[in-house]
Structure 1
Amino acid sequence: MNGDDTGSALDGAVVAVAGAAGPAGRATLLRLAEAGATVVAADADVTRLTEAVDAARYAHGGATVTGDTVDLLDREATRAWAEKAEKDFGRIDGLVHLVGGWRGSASFPETDLADWDLLEKLLIRTVQHTSLAFHDGLLRSDRGRYVLISAAGAGQPTAGNAAYAASKAAAEAWTLALGDSFRKAGGDEGPGTAATILVIKALVHDAMRAERPNAKFAGFTDAKDLAEAIAGVWDRPAPEVNGTRLWLTPQP
């Protein structure tokens, strides 16, 4: 599916992308713009954000892709970003949460709780702030979607990944609660808006392959494939994807 396809579910949609400056963010901006969406990107790194936004604009001439430097750890700043997006473009049809981060240890006893302090902010607090800020706007949409990227390790934590896995599990639980709110708002007709979790083992992109040409990256999801899966969430009815985990890696 591309931006020229008649009936593209994303054609004319307004989608916000949090954590847009990384490899997954860049691929997602490109894919959403290709599908005909207006893309409202945010990241804390202004230089990388500008590069990502410019790349999406140049790849798809005429696409509307904007960038805002937003501190997603600031609830009021996040709310202001959501309100501005809806005011500027008249609607908000999606929030894609790509804020990431990883910390681990050699063993469980060596876990540094400073890692938890960091990951709680990156992986949980940003989900809380974006979901609360965009909740009402997404409900006003006829195709609202909140998309969280999670990791298989959330359900099968390893000894050295306690802080990371626990953070991801908490973010999943929060997103499922958001989905329950959408379900209840939909009443007897079912939800018109959906909260969906895409589960990967880990992410791989071209730069990683160039750095490690002999690595197999078994079970990893390519950033472009992740972007395709994100766009695909809009192709499916809200009741089908609301409150669900969609696995992009073999489910354990």
Structure 2
Amino acid sequence: MTDRTDEGVNGRLVLFAGGTSAVGRASARALVDAGARVMIVGSDAERVAAAAAEAPGAFTEVCDLTDPDAVTALRDRVHAAHGSVDGLFPLVGGWRGGGGLAGQNDDDLAFLMRSFTALRLVTRAFDADLRSSPAGRLAIVSSTAVARPLAGGANYAAVKAASEAWVRAVAQGYAKAARDDAREVSSAAVILRVRSLEGLESAVASAFVALWDDAADAWNDVVIEIGAGG
């Protein structure tokens, strides 16, 4: 196993859960360039292979991240082949909306809820890894719609708000575990908010890498707006 130090992303095992999107591909490249061991996970084998081709050296796994048994099996395979995870970036997402409040239908909500389901499953599966890592990091990409929801995006904003609440609960768990063990916090759960990801893929990727630039207590339970001035 690669020797791990207490600072920097170099040598860390970072898992992108749903890493085949534009932001996932950009972030995987950035983490590989920074010396991390990167795992790209997605449900479509061709998209996973294409994403890995843009981040030479990245590992890959195909998994339905909304299936509890599949996520448990993924964790077991990752542990057997690569060891414990230090970074987890759940990126399962998508947008459906419009039509005012009347247009917020159940099919759209079910589609959007996939991201929250995947978040719950992967954070629970790898919770012990991140808690025990000397530099565990969890981060999601959320939306400014949480603070400024619109009727036409009510489903979307509600799911993003639920995701943020989940990540903040994880952050509280990291802090409590450290207090109970009478030690410094070594893991951080972070929320990155954007208005739109278009044109911000590199900025988000840089933010992911930067999470290892400071101690965990500087990041835990922090909300960072990216591109807020644009």
Identity of matched residues, %: 31
- Which residue is 1:179 aligned to? 171
- Aligned-pair distance for 1:79? 2.1
What residue ranges of structure 1 are gaps of 5+ in the alignment?
1-6, 58-63, 206-221
2:134 to 121, 142, 152: 142
Q: What is the CA–CA distance in structure 2 between the aligned matches of 1:166 and 1:23, rounded to whole Å?
A: 24
Runs of 4+, deviation exceeding 4 Å: none
- Which residue is 1:242 aligned to? 220
**Pairwise mapping of residues 150-229 of structure 1 onto structure 2 (< 5 A)?**
150-187=142-179, 188-205=182-199, 222-229=200-207
- Which of structures 1 and 2 has the larger relative contact order (alpha carbons within 8 angstroms, sep 6+)? 2
Q: What is the CA–CA distance in structure 1 between the aligned matches of 2:73 and 2:212, rounded to whole Å?
A: 25
- Aligned-pair distance for 1:114? 1.6
Does the 8 A contact of 1:124 with 1:170 survive in 2? yes
Aligned partner letter, 2:47 = R
What residue ranges of structure 2 are gaps of 5+ in the alignment?
1-5
Q: What is the CA–CA distance in structure 2 between the aligned matches of 1:25 and 1:229, rounded to whole Å?
A: 12
Q: What is the CA–CA distance in structure 2 between the aligned matches of 1:110 and 1:147, rounded to whole Å?
A: 30
**Pairwise mapping of residues 42-57 of structure 1 onto structure 2 (< 5 A)?**
42-57=41-56
Structure 1, 138-147 or 86-95: larger mean CA deviation: 86-95
Does the 8 A contact of 1:105 with 1:112 survive in 2? no
Equivalences, count? 222
Secondary structure in 2 aligned to 1:203? coil
Once the two structures are superposed, what CA deviation does each residue of 1:31-88 show, in whole Å capped at 9, x if it has no partner? 000000110110112111101102210xxxxxx3111111001112112212322332
Q: What is the CA–CA distance in structure 1 between the aligned matches of 2:131 and 2:74, rounded to whole Å?
A: 17
1:85 to 78, 81, 84: 78
Matched, 1:39 2:35: no
- Aligned-pair distance for 1:184? 0.8
What is the TM-score normalised by the length of structure 2?
A: 0.92
Does the 8 A contact of 2:7 with 2:135 survive in 1? no
Aligned alpha-carbon RMSD (Å): 1.5
Secondary structure in 1 aligned to 2:128? helix
Secondary structure in 2 aligned to 1:103? coil
Once the two structures are superposed, what CA deviation does each residue of 1:214-252 show, in whole Å capped at 9, x if it has no partner? xxxxxxxx211110111111112111111111111328x
- Which residue is 1:30 aligned to? 29
